Structure 1
Amino acid sequence: MTHTSNTPHMNVTPAELGFAMPAEFSPHSACWMLWPQRPDTWRYGAKPAQQAFVEVATAIAESETVYVGVNDEQYENARNQLPAHVRVVELSSNDAWMRDVGPTFVTHPDGRLAMVDWEFNAWGGLKGGLYFPWDKDRRIRTKIAEILGIPRFEAPVVLEGGAIHVDGDGTLITTEECLLNPNRNPDLSRQRMENVLHDYLGVEKVIWLPRGCHLDETDGHIDNLCCFVAPGEVALNWCDDEHDPQHAISREALEVLENATDARGRALKVHKLPQPGPLHIAEEEASGIDRLSSSHPRQPGDRMAASYANFYIGNSVVVMPLLDPTHDDQAKATLQDLFPDRRVIGVPAREILLGGGNIHCITQQQPLCVASPGMSRPE
């Protein structure tokens, strides 16, 4: 029988059982999101951010089922704002970054679905973390496993979903700045981290980029810098201005990528996405945010880590952030060329960026599970 207990597997890893993480461009059965309401992250009681989240959820819902988890006190408001076909579920959280606090789903060739439950410490714990406490966020994966009735594998490391990208063909890309950061796993070597990624995601090769985007408060999440768009192909946040700190970061990433091969021995093809901006927090944008000692400060003039690489790949759509009229059309055209069979939808996303992330950060895909030919699914 298929095991659906929410009791975590302690002595066996997903890879040992044949599970692996599929690529984001593989078919989904759903997308999971959370509802913004935290006043020290989102300005003016999160009302502008809520509108942006509604637009993202509506766009993705053209492509697949969307679940939005909501704290009880915001349930009625969210239900009234979101389209009827978006499913609203009570799912308490400390903030709205489902990519990082939600499950990393893995699939089995026989059609089974499971999840990896990473440790979470709010992007650094008490050494640079973005808020405290994070107790509700820590329970989200357990609750989703219960809702779906799927196995949950507890991983022995701190890791956020935005820190990894896979091609579904054995390759994972990440940054040293994040996964090897002392505020995540101070005693973990690079080789041990690779072993964990192999054991829990079924990957065979890890490509390490040195750093993430300039001033990214997540300590260098890969999903803001670079992502797989197809096997052997990546999109990279690119900056031409040699005086911009992002230029050196993008250049060193390009050098690593151009000299790397994936798990199947393919050289990587790199597609450059123009960097928006640079974009900074305006006075009126900062003034609407609650200032608490337990949360990350957001001051007027602060530069934001804006990137068009922070998009979501749905079944039939690609939902990208609109951030800068100077570069929006170019970025959209590039993504449309990369995804000719999907419709690229641009969503005004500055309100999400003001909170510290973007569209990929607030979404988490649930893969569609289909048994491989010749395999029968257990009853």
Structure 2
Amino acid sequence: MSASFSADFRMPAEWLPHARTWMAWPLSEPVYGDTLAAGRSEHAAVAREIAKFEPVTMVYDPNAGDGVEQLRDLPNLTLLELPLDDSWLRDTGPTFVTGEDGSVAGIDWTFDGWGGLHPANNDAAIAERILRAAGVRRFGSDMVFEGGALSIDDAGTVLTTRQCFEHRTRDGGPTSEEFEAELKARLGARKIIWLERTLEGDSTNGHVDVVAAFTSPGHVVVQISEDFDDPDYDNLLNNLTILEQETDADGRPLTVHKIVAPPVSRNPDGSRRMLSYINFYIVNGGVVVPQYGMDETDAAAIGVLQNLFPDRRVVGVMTPTVADAGGNIHCITQQQPKGALSDA
């Protein structure tokens, strides 16, 4: 059941200890089309890699679970039947928070299918169903928002984009001040840093997790382009400039690290492929990073992240099909932090 929100709760950073990772099995023909089998194979590969570091719960729709049985006997992975529309659990699932007493709860944002882009009847309810299955308290929010639209540094600072805010409120909704106030209240944050936009053709309309992410308090990694002909060259440079001039919630300048984007690649219809190395996922003892078969930039991204996470094992997983569907490893995962289960 839902509970009144408490200011004692805050969202812990992704690099703090997890109890488990939540994922969802792909089922959407509109998203994957004739690449659905390949998308499922890549989801399975990501799940297998994460399960080497921490428990994984894979949610699957009982009417569209073809192929999920391959994971049933995988060590450290459990399957859970729940109705789904799509598999981007970073956005549809709950944003987990922890209380001062160590209890775990979840924020259930209002989900509208990324502004009506896709059906959302089941996915609008999946966060509440996951929280019930996890046995943790639910805090609802009337604000349309998704987990992929934020990165948090565990020191009171949140990173998001104006593109996402403006798209979600195009037909009315909170002002930017009200938006900031809700994020601060729900996440326990004290400062919002606004980037302008993400990548050309971003179907999420502005999720920050394809262009920038905190890696530790005071440190953020951004994707840049070294191709002057890249339509996003100036945009990515602008993101870098904003962050180099910003401070965290305590007024300390940020240390900004750079990852070079993969070469621009386009689909047959001319649309840009959503290739990002920033859409990595931090797990207990590791970091799981998208790879695209582009040897030079793939290896360089792994190297940058290994330097940023010297005490973790950084591993790459080939996920070009997930990228072509509009997201990547961070988009298909959601961390549940370690802590005491609160009363549901």
Q: How many Å separate the matches in 2 of 1:145 and 1:346?
A: 30
The RMSD of aligned alpha carbons is 1.8
Q: How many Å separate the matches in 1 of 2:35 and 2:291?
A: 22
Contact between 1:310 and 1:321, CA under 8 Å: does it hold in 2? yes
> Equivalences for 1:156-235 in 2 at 5 Å?
156-183=142-169, 186-235=172-221
Bigger Cα Rg: 1
Aligned pair partner of 1:272 in 253, 258, 262: 258
Whichever residue aligns with residue 104 of structure 1, its letter is: T
By how many angstroms is 1:181 displaced?
2.2
> Equivalences for 1:268-347 in 2 at 5 Å?
268-282=254-268, 300-323=269-292, 324-347=294-317
1:23 maps to 2:9 = no
Whichever residue aligns with residue 113 of structure 1, its letter is: V
Instruction: Tell me: CA distance 1:83–1:259, structure 2 relative to 1, closer, same or farther (3 Å).
Output: farther
Instruction: Tell me: CA distance 1:182–1:221, structure 2 relative to 1, closer, same or farther (3 Å).
Output: closer
By how many angstroms is 1:31 displaced?
0.4
Instruction: Give the 3-state SS of the residue equivalent to 2:114 in structure 1.
Output: coil
1:46 maps to 2:36 = yes
By how many angstroms is 1:203 displaced?
0.4
How many corresponding residue pairs?
341
Q: In the alignment, what sits opposite 2:25?
A: 35
Q: How many Å separate the matches in 2 of 1:20 and 1:175?
A: 21
Q: How many Å separate the matches in 2 of 1:235 and 1:45?
A: 31
Q: In the alignment, what sits opposite 1:352?
A: 322
Q: How many Å separate the matches in 1 of 2:57 and 2:340?
A: 21
Q: In the alignment, what sits opposite 1:295?
A: none
Contact between 2:201 and 2:271, CA under 8 Å: does it hold in 1? no
Q: How many Å separate the matches in 2 of 1:147 and 1:280?
A: 40
By how many angstroms is 1:93 displaced?
0.8
Aligned pair partner of 1:88 in 63, 70, 79: 79
Instruction: Give the 3-state SS of the residue equivalent to 2:36 in structure 1.
Output: helix
Contact between 2:35 and 2:321, CA under 8 Å: does it hold in 1? no
Query: Percentage identity across aligned positions?
Result: 38
Q: In the alignment, what sits opposite 1:14?
A: 6
Instruction: Give the 3-state SS of the residue equivalent to 2:301 in structure 1.
Output: helix
Q: In the alignment, what sits opposite 1:103?
A: 94
1:139 maps to 2:109 = no
1:84-110 CA distance string (max 9 Å, x none): 221111022101100000000000121
Instruction: Tell me: CA distance 1:190–1:137, structure 2 relative to 1, closer, same or farther (3 Å).
Output: same
Q: How many Å separate the matches in 1 of 2:251 and 2:158?
A: 13
Instruction: Give the 3-state SS of the residue equivalent to 2:83 in structure 1.
Output: coil
Instruction: Give the 3-state SS of the residue equivalent to 1:326 in structure 2.
Output: helix
TM-score normalised to the size of structure 1? 0.86
Aligned pair partner of 2:333 in 347, 357, 363: 363
Instruction: Give the 3-state SS of the residue equivalent to 1:93 in structure 2.
Output: coil
Whichever residue aligns with residue 39 of structure 2, its letter is: A
Q: How many Å separate the matches in 2 of 1:281 and 1:92?
A: 31
Q: How many Å separate the matches in 1 of 2:253 and 2:112?
A: 35
Q: Which runs of 5+ in 1 are unaligned?
A: 1-5, 283-299, 372-376
Contact between 2:104 and 2:340, CA under 8 Å: does it hold in 1? no
Contact between 2:39 and 2:322, CA under 8 Å: does it hold in 1? yes
Q: In the alignment, what sits opposite 1:292?
A: none
> Equivalences for 1:120-135 in 2 at 5 Å?
120-125=111-116, 129=117, 131=118, 133-135=119-121
Contact between 1:109 and 1:370, CA under 8 Å: does it hold in 2? no
Whichever residue aligns with residue 242 of structure 1, its letter is: F
Whichever residue aligns with residue 220 of structure 2, its letter is: V
Q: How many Å separate the matches in 2 of 1:308 and 1:186?
A: 33
Whichever residue aligns with residue 354 of structure 1, its letter is: D
- Greater alpha carbon shift after TM alignment, 183-192 vs 311-320: 183-192
Whichever residue aligns with residue 201 of structure 1, its letter is: L
Q: Which runs of 5+ in 2 are unaligned?
A: none
- Greater alpha carbon shift after TM alignment, 310-319 vs 178-187: 178-187
Q: In the alignment, what sits opposite 1:288?
A: none
By how many angstroms is 1:79 displaced?
2.1
1:245 maps to 2:231 = yes
1:73 maps to 2:67 = no
Contact between 2:85 and 2:120, CA under 8 Å: does it hold in 1? yes
